[in-house]
Amino acid sequence: MSPMSKIIAQRLHEVVLDGELGIDYTFAGDRAKNIALRRKYKVNDAKMKEILLEITEAHYSKSELSTNKDHPNDVVHVFKIQEDLMPRFVENSSYENVCIYVKITWPDGMKPMFIISFHEDEE
C-alpha cells in the first residue's frame, strides 16, 4: 500500500462531495473502455460518484507514470473496487459483481487534477 493512497482517497472524497463535475474533477468519458461500462451496466454520473465515495486506501492497487504524451511526468494512481451493477437491456437480469478500475491522475507538484478513468478491470 502506498503511503499516498489514504491521502488520495480522502482528497477524492472531498472533491466529489464539495467539487463540481467538469470543473474540479471529470470522468474520462470519451475512451472506449469507459463508454463500454456505461453501455453494459446502469451506471450514470450519480452512480459513479457513489462508487468513488466508497473508495478507501484498501482499494489501492498501484501507482505508475502516465502514458499520456502531453503529461509524461504525471503519476496515475490505480484503485480497484468491487461493485454490484445491473446490466442494461437484459430481461430478468440480476446484479453482477464487477471489478471497477479507477485511475486518478495527480500531477506532481501541482493542484490535484482529478481525471478519472472508470471502467471494468481487464486483469
Mean pLDDT of the chain: 82
Angle at 100 between CA 94 and CA 104, to 5 degrees: 155
Quick one: cell of 12? 477524492
The pLDDT score that the predictor gives to residue 110 is: 58
- Nearest-angstrom CA–CA distance, 91 and 93: 5
- Nearest-angstrom CA–CA distance, 115 and 46: 16
In tens, the pLDDT along 56-96 reads 999 999 988 888 777 777 888 889 999 999 998 888 889 98
The pLDDT score that the predictor gives to residue 81 is: 92
Number of other residues whose CB lies within 10 A of the CB of residue 27: 19
Is there a contact between 75 and 65 (Cβ–Cβ < 8 Å)? yes
- Would you say residue 24 has pLDDT above 90? no
The model scores a pTM over 0.85 = no
- What average pLDDT does range 37-45 have in this prediction? 87
Is there a contact between 8 and 15 (Cβ–Cβ < 8 Å)? no
